Amino acid sequence: SNVMRMSVKHTLESAGFGVELAENGLEGLKSLKRMKENGGVPELIFVDINMPVMDGITFIKKVKQTSCKTIPVLVLTTESEEKKKNEGRQAGAAGWLVKPFDKDKLIKVVRKFVR
């Protein structure tokens, strides 16, 4: 949702991180391609499992098939059941956070992946 994207963006930018947003998985892949063409890629990607156009599991699988496959992908979602978490791990997710998120915990997790 737009509210969640803005909340995550505000939290991460206030901690000094740059943020690029996409509304769904397809837009995320387009954004990733555009960044790559412009000579840069993100150090970390957040994705939700429940997105329009392309769900998060499909998005992760597609990212892992590109030259950006080494970028860690963290899931930030309302989904908390083990079956979904296992699907995410099998797709290539590096971690799983359940919404609503704690701002300090989110920043701490990002700092583990971004130097």
pLDDT, tens digit, for every residue of 80-115? 899 999 999 999 999 999 998 899 999 999 999 997
The beta strands (E) that lie in 1-115 are given as 45-47, 73-77, 95-98
Nearest-angstrom CA–CA distance, 63 and 60: 5
Q: Give the model's confidence band at 65: pLDDT under 50 very low, under 70 low, under 90 confident, else very high.
A: very high
Q: pTM for the whole thing?
A: 0.91
In sequence order, what are the residues at sequence separation of 6 or more whose Cβ sits closer than 8 angstroms to the Cβ of residue 15?
Answer: 107, 110
